[in-house]
Structure 1
């Protein structure tokens, strides 16, 4: 049954990506050049809705959070590789799959690169775990834990900040 849930949510995600037009190359390049905020608005909306949903389910006892440790070294290296790949290909991993689904064959190269990168990561993981992951290792933390407040304080403040940026983006025509 979990495979069915995965298929349904994947299809819904793909439909949302397509409807929001974030699969378009010009939207991707516009985001990278900070000239079109469509992708950022899509991602920030998902973060706000996801935060509310996840923490509501957690508070109701339906789910348990299984946090991954925060490592600045891993974040910097992984984020840099992600950004370089996005800039070179013109798609991020989620949009590459959607673009391929729309028939854009160029996205297949990105997907092949992601698979090759995953294989390289698996091969290099022992080295990375010993040398990169310990750099800036903060353990399993969340922003509310760092601030010493409830997540229901952080989430509405974050939503207000996101709303302000949406207003600003719209005002600037982005």
Structure 2
């Protein structure tokens, strides 16, 4: 059942990506050049909806939710790889697969590269666990726990900041 829910959620998210035009190369490049905030607005919206949904389900006892241990080594290397890949191909992993589903064949080679990267990662995973995970390891952290406040307060502030950003982007025509 979990796999089916994941598939349904993924299909729904893919439809939203397509409807928001987040699968378009021009939108991706526009976001990287800070000239088109469509992607930023879409992702901020999904973060807010996801945060509300996950915390609501957890508060109702329908799911268990706990933050994973923070490893700055993993975050920095992962962020660099993600950012470099996005800058080189003009798509993040999810949007590249979505673009392929729309018939954009120019993403085939980057997708093959991602699959090969995943295969390489599977082989070096023991090294990553041994040497990279311990770098900057801080245990399970969350912003509400660090601030000593309820998670709904942090989500509320995130919503207000996002709405202010959306308003700013609209005024600037972004």
Report TM bin, short chain.
Answer: over 0.9
1:94 aligned partner = 94
Question: Deviation at 1:101?
Answer: 0.4
2:11 aligned partner = 11
3-state secondary structure, aligned to 2:138: strand
Matched, 1:106 2:97: no
Name the CA distance, whole Å, in 1 between partners of 2:86 and 2:17: 16
Name the CA distance, whole Å, in 2 between partners of 1:116 and 1:98: 19
Aligned residues: 174
3-state secondary structure, aligned to 1:120: helix
1:55 aligned partner = 55
The 1:91–1:152 alpha-carbon spacing in structure 2 relative to 1, beyond 3 Å, is same
Question: Deviation at 1:67?
Answer: 2.7
Name the CA distance, whole Å, in 2 between partners of 1:122 and 1:11: 26
Question: Deviation at 1:144?
Answer: 0.5
Name the CA distance, whole Å, in 2 between partners of 1:125 and 1:51: 29
2:153 aligned partner = 153
Bigger drift between 34-43 and 113-122 goes to 113-122
Which structure 2 residue ranges, 5 or more long, are not aligned? none
Name the CA distance, whole Å, in 2 between partners of 1:103 and 1:134: 42
Aligned structure 1 segments of 4 or more residues deviating by more than 6 angstroms: none
Bigger drift between 32-41 and 108-117 goes to 108-117
Matches within 5 A, 1:17-32: 17-32=17-32
Name the CA distance, whole Å, in 2 between partners of 1:102 and 1:53: 29
Question: Deviation at 1:7?
Answer: 3.0
Name the CA distance, whole Å, in 2 between partners of 1:63 and 1:5: 14
Bigger drift between 97-106 and 120-129 goes to 120-129
Question: Deviation at 1:66?
Answer: 4.1
3-state secondary structure, aligned to 2:130: helix
Bigger drift between 155-164 and 7-16 goes to 7-16
Name the CA distance, whole Å, in 2 between partners of 1:137 and 1:62: 30
TM-score normalized with structure 1 length:
0.95
